[in-house]
Amino acid sequence: MSSKDKGAIVVDGAGGFIGGWAAEELHKAWFKVQATDLDSVDLSYLKELGIETRPSNLLDRASLDELLRGASAVVHCAAAFDLSLPLPTLMKINVEGTELLLRACQSAGIERVVHLSTSGVYGIPTAAPVYEDHRIKPVDAYSVSKAKAEEVVNKFKNQGMKITMFRPTNVYGPRGRYTAGVLFPALCILKERGLAIPRFKGGPPINMVHVEDVAGAIRFALEHEATAGEVYNMAETDIYPAGDFFDLIIDQFDLKTRGSLKMRTGLISIMGRIGMFMPASLTVGPVQAYLQREWNKIVEKYSLEPVLKPSLARDFMPFLIGGPHAYSNEKLRKAGYVLRHPSIKESFGEVVKWYRERRWIP
């Protein structure tokens, strides 16, 4: 698909982390972009960039029909992404919403779609790195809903729709609020209280992906017809022990350390399984309440923008189970996509700097 095509590229979920970056990426590449989200979502920063914005509702077919009139392709980022939400809510939005959208695409004569799924559909990985042919066996409610959404996507692919599907691993980068809300406030609290923590050594292999590469890969898919019908992991090239990641954040936040501990995958996995089955009121609930109280103090003390919200849900526990959460991007690279951020070790410092410059963290 050429950026000269007359029809707009509709990016839904444009008020979200990935959707906003995707809309901006396509706009910079001279695509005609139509960014959309719920009427209650602020899209003003995209409008200021010259991107057309309009409200829509993924669960309202009439709204979708109006939205897609004259469009040439859809980037489907809209989803309920909150690991604390109950499964019925996630299924309603992520599965039924995807079905309604793709039916509306059919009616509008739109064949080209890019669908954002998640690496969580693989569940507890059986090997590292994980390739696209790994079995689908999600564990947490969000990933279950996204796996069901993939089944909907495959049904429409079998009917001739040209859909590229991406499975991003944990996404980081500027403007991110969800994962950053889990991580950054906790690190700032440790720093503020002057608590010494051990340096962790070794641990299961992991990797993440920078949001600019998620947006870049979406653009790449729209520009390369050969990606239609394919499924790709979205992950950085570098795979590293979890202990290396902890070293990275310890150094960026200048945390006090004392001694070192070897990360034992088996013990971490047991902790994750216990956390999955214990009531949230006894596990993540008290931790969440503590983090929020301490974070509020830091926000007030340093006059920060109150953007990040500490978040900890029980469905984070599967990330601890089984050890490796490392995903191969080989298929995407062989298709021709060149990553801008192949390693978090090179990119994380600039990301932290972005949050500090905007007073999201001290």
What is the per-residue pLDDT for 320? Answer: 52
State how far the Cα of 354 lies from the Cα of 30, in Å rounded to an integer.
26
Q: Could you tell me how far CA 7 lies from the centroid of its own chain?
A: 27
Please count the residues of the chain.
Answer: 362
**CATH class given for the domain over 9-173+207-236+325-341:** alpha beta
State how far the Cα of 156 lies from the Cα of 74, in Å rounded to an integer.
14
CA angle 33, 38, 40 (to 5 degrees): 120
pLDDT tens figures, 282-307? 456 677 788 899 999 999 999 999 99
Whether pLDDT at 267 is above 90:
no
What is the per-residue pLDDT for 284? Answer: 62
What amino acid is encoded at 176 in this protein?
G
What is the per-residue pLDDT for 200? Answer: 83
* Local confidence band at 273 (pLDDT 50, 70, 90 cut-offs): very low
What is the per-residue pLDDT for 312? Answer: 65
Whether residue 129 is preceded by a cis peptide bond, meaning omega within 30 degrees of 0, is yes
What is the per-residue pLDDT for 185? Answer: 92
pLDDT tens figures, 79-133? 998 767 889 999 999 999 999 999 999 999 999 999 999 999 999 888 899 999 9
Quote the pTM value.
0.92
- Write out the two tokens for 304: 């920060």
What is the per-residue pLDDT for 242? Answer: 87
**Phi and psi torsions of 10, nearest 5°:** -85, 125
Q: Which of 268, 343, 347, 356 is nearest to 308 (CA)?
A: 356
pLDDT tens figures, 171-229? 999 999 988 988 899 899 999 999 898 888 888 899 999 999 999 999 999 999 999 99
How close are the terminal C-alpha atoms of the chain, in Å? Answer: 43
State how far the Cα of 138 lies from the Cα of 145, in Å rounded to an integer.
9
Q: Return the domain boundaries, the chain.
A: 9-173+207-236+325-341, 178-205+240-319
Question: Residue 112: which H helix or E strand, with range?
Answer: strand 112-116
SS3 147: helix
* Local confidence band at 266 (pLDDT 50, 70, 90 cut-offs): low
What amino acid is encoded at 171 in this protein?
V
CB contact at 8 A, 9 and 73: yes
Whether pLDDT at 135 is above 80:
yes
Whether pLDDT at 170 is above 70:
yes
What is the per-residue pLDDT for 215? Answer: 98
What is the per-residue pLDDT for 82? Answer: 75
Q: Residue holding tokens 């992520």?
A: 94
**Phi and psi torsions of 162, nearest 5°:** -90, 95
